[in-house]
Amino acid sequence: MRLAESAGWPTAPGEVVESRVEPITVSGMAGSIARWQPIITYTYEVGGQTYTNDAVTFREDHTFNAQAEAEAVTAQYAPGQSVEVAYQPGDPQNAVLERRVPAESYLIAGGGLVVLALHLIGMIRRMRVPVGMPYSGPFGW
């Protein structure tokens, strides 16, 4: 939804202030794992007001399993580099550098659709009544 909303957001020129990779530890039921988070800080000006932000995409969890993956993101944003910042018109502090859906989001959505389709096929197959048997409804009543 945020991606669709942001399609009409205006943009402002900005500049990368900092670009680094930070190791973080994520704790879960399986224990703690090391992850790598790219930190990209940039400034931009809207209506004479200067803003500082660090949101690259709309992803809440912008971390990676491999340090090299996070470094590939920071390599795109060197300190001093000019960037185009898309900001929300009513709240210019809400801004991002990239307005795209990550590829893994398509994979997750596609996987969900496959599971749904298989479930529906299974339900339809169970609802078929063998020839010669009286139909008693979908729940066997």
pLDDT tens readout for residues 36-74: 999 999 999 999 999 999 999 887 668 899 999 999 999
| Host domain of residue 82 | 2-100
Looking at the domain assignment, is residue 87 inside a domain? yes
Residue 12 to residue 134: CA distance in whole angstroms: 69
Q: Are residues 77 and 38 in the same domain?
A: yes
Looking at the domain assignment, is residue 140 inside a domain? no
Q: Are residues 17 and 82 in the same domain?
A: yes
| Residues of the chain scoring pLDDT < 50 | 105-106
Q: Are residues 68 and 94 in the same domain?
A: yes
pLDDT at residue 85, as a whole number? 96
CATH no. for residue 94? 2.40.50
Q: Are residues 54 and 122 in the same domain?
A: no
13 neighbors 82 (Cβ within 8 angstroms):
yes
Q: What is the number of domains present in the chain? A: 2
